[in-house]
Amino acid sequence: MANSFRHSFAVTTNAGHFTAVMLQFQRFSTSVMCSAMIKVKECQFPVPWGHIAAKSWGSKDGLPVLCLHGWSDNANSFSRLIPLLPQDRHYVAIDFPGHGLSSHRPAGTFYIFPEYISDICRVTNVLGWERFSVIGHSMGGNVGCMFSALFPDMVDKVILIDTTGFLPTKESLPDIVQKGIVELLKYEKQKRPNKVYSEQAAIERLMTANPSLSEGSAHILLERGTTKVHGGVHFNRDFRINLPGIIRMTMEQALELQKRITAKLLIILANDGIVKRKEFQQLDKSDMDKMLKGYREVSKRGYKNHCPVPSTRQTLGEHTRSTQAGLQDARAMMLS
C-alpha cells in the first residue's frame, strides 16, 4: 500500500487500553472539556432475561450514536470520551449482558456474537432508532462492525477503536465449537463463589489483568464493574464471558460480511493493543492485506469509507499520530 495512503488513514495511539487513551485525550483537550456540560443519565432496557443497563448523554432529539465497550469492560469506557465529541448527539453506551450493571444471560447459555447483535436490535428498537452511528472499542467494535454488515441501512458511520472490525480465525471451527461446549459444561459443574475484594485489591486485580490501565481508569471501570457488599466489593461480570466463544468465522466469511458495510468507517489502533493479542498474531501479512484490500474495494464502490490501517503489522507504529489527532479524526467523522 502506498505511503500516502497510510499517512492519510492510519491512526495509532500509544496506549493499549481505551480508557487510558481517553484520559490522555482529556489532557490534550481541556478547552473542549470546559465547554462540555452534557447531561448524563442512567437507563435500562428490558430483555427477556432481565435488563440491559446503559448510560446516555445529551438530548433524545440529538443525532443517535450507540457506544459499544470492549470485552470485560462496561459503559464507563466512554465516560471521558463523550464530553470531547460533538454535543448535538444523543450518545447511548450500553453494558453488554454479563458486563457492568446488565443482567447475566440465562444459565446454560453461551456469550456469542449473534446474541450481542440481537442485544443491539432490542436496545435500538426501544429507542426508536432507525439509523444511527456506532463507536465501538475492541469487542464492541467487532459487534458494531458485524451489525453494520447485517443491517447496513441502519448504520451511517462506524468508529472502531483498537479493532479492525473482524477477527477471523485459522483454527478448526469444529474444534472451536467442541472446546466451547466442553468448557461450559465443566464450568457448570464447578461452584464459583463470587470472591469479595477490598476496593484497592479490586483495582490492583483489574490493573494486573490490564497492564495498560492507569489507576484512575481502573476506578472509572469499577464504578460499574463492581458492587459493594459486606467486607468489600465483588465483580459484577459473568465469569462465563471468559469461556471460549463457539462462534468464529473464516477469512472468507469476514470478507463477505465486509462487502455489505455501507457506513463511513474510521479505525483507530493502539500500538500496544490488538496487534499484541495472540488472536491477532495468528494472522500473517497476507491475511492483513486481504482485510485491507476488502476495505479498499468497499471504498471504491463509493461508500467513502476511511480505509484504516497500514498494510502490515510491522508498520503499525511507523506512522503514529498523537491521541489528540485520533480525537480530532473522531470528531471530524461525527461531524461529517
DSSP state of 258: H
Determine the 3-state secondary structure of 126 from DSSP: helix
In which residue are the cell numbers 495511539 written? Answer: 13
User: Is residue 138 annotated as part of the catalytic site, yes or no?
Assistant: yes
CB 317 within 8 A of CB 276: no
CB 52 within 8 A of CB 123: yes
Extract the C-alpha cell encoding 300.
Answer: 471504491
Q: Residue 234 and residue 197: Cα distance in Å, rounded?
A: 6
Q: What pairs with residue 158 in β-bridges?
A: 134, 265
- Out of 103, 133, 138, 212, the active site residue is 138
Q: Residue 73 and residue 52: Cα distance in Å, rounded?
A: 14
Q: Residue 283 and residue 302: Cα distance in Å, rounded?
A: 28
CB contact set of 277 (below 8 Å; sequence gap of 6+): none
Torsional sign, CA 36, 41, 45, 51 = positive
Extract the C-alpha cell encoding 84.
Answer: 470531547
Alpha-helical segments (H) within 165-317 = 173-189, 199-209, 215-225, 251-258, 278-281, 285-298
DSSP track, 128-191? T-SSEEEEEETHHHHHHHHHHHHSGGGEEEEEEES--S-----S-HHHHHHHHHHHHHHHHHS-
Catalytic residues: 138
